[in-house]
Amino acid sequence: MSMDENKALRLLGRVLTLSRLRVQSAVPQDIVEELTKLTLENPMLKQGLPVIIDSEHAIDLAWLVKVLKKTGIQVLGIADGILHDQALALDLPILPPDHTQGSQRQASPPSQNARPQTAAAALPKLPAKMLTDPVRSGQQVYAEHSDLIVLAPVSSGAELIADGCIHVYGTLRGRAIAGATGNPQARIFCKRLEADLVAIAGIYMVADQIPSQLLGKSVQIRLTDDGNIVIESLE
């Protein structure tokens, strides 16, 4: 309704794709060398690619941001971890840590390692949000800090968003965006797949890209270890 356009502020549930720049060495010269190689291989880095810095090493964040800025990369924030305090000091946004790294943390000073683990575990999980009426075109539902269960059809043009998993025990014709705050373990389940778009932790797949033999079937949708969306039949 055009009534919305009169409000001063509006919260829109848009999914953005950001790149993570993972720092895997504490040695500045190595970082600069690798950065030069990266920018040669990926010219788009110079065009202001927005990144989140993800580091387990206690590097000098202010220095890194300056070096990246010179290359043209825009630092939008950091993934919560060892650089937490430095980010606070620099007024940089701190985003949830990357959950897939949970078991593979490198040997940094153990006390500082503890924080990222507890941050991941501390994500509050509320009981699932349950809907029993059809979700109509143009409606948007957000299950914050929980899973979303829908026991009715979801129309084309409707949007389901959840921080956790999404279950549709009916026909999914709209959009399903799971793991909305970055949880790559989130999955989407539906009884009949006819979705416009599916996304998990920011990785998305549009209707055109869905393999035709899976349309109309009961499926689960998840992210593989290397960050690709895979759709598997449940039949």
Partner 1 sequence: MAKIIVVTSGKGGVGKTTTSASFATGLALRGHKTVVIDFDVGLRNLDLILGCERRVVFDFVNVIHGEAKLQQALIKDKTVENLYILAASQTRDKDALTQEGVERVLNDLKQDFEYIICDSPAGIERGAHLAMYFADEALVVTNPEVSSVRDSDRVLGLLASKTQKVEQGRGRLKEHLVLTRYNPNRVVKNEMMSVTDIEDILAIPLLGVIPESPAVLTSSNSGSPVISDKNSDAGVAYDDLVARFLGEERPHRFLNPEKKGLFAWLLGS
* Separation CA 232–CA 215 (nearest Å): 11
| Strand partners for 219 | 190, 233
Start-to-end C-alpha separation, the chain: 40
> Taking CB under 8 A as the rule, does residue 159 contact partner 1?
no
Q: Nearest-CA neighbor of 223 among 207, 195, 200?
A: 200
Looking only at the bridges linking them, the beta strands covering 94-95 and 129-131 are unpaired
Give the binding range for partner 1 (CB under 8 A) out of 53-61, 74-82, 147-155, 195-203: 147-155
> Taking CB under 8 A as the rule, does residue 173 contact partner 1?
yes
Q: Could you say which of 101, 112, 113, 156 contacts partner 1 (CB under 8 A)?
A: 156
Measured from the CB atom, the residue of 138 and 227 that comes closer to partner 1 is 138
Give the binding range for partner 1 (CB under 8 A) out of 9-17, 46-54, 154-162, 198-206: 154-162
> Taking CB under 8 A as the rule, does residue 215 contact partner 1?
no
* Separation CA 17–CA 49 (nearest Å): 11
Q: Is 167 helix (H, G, I), strand (E, B) or coil?
A: strand
Give the binding range for partner 1 (CB under 8 A) out of 78-86, 148-156, 197-205, 210-218: 148-156
- Interface positions with partner 1 (CB under 8 A): 1-2, 133-139, 152-153, 155-158, 171, 173
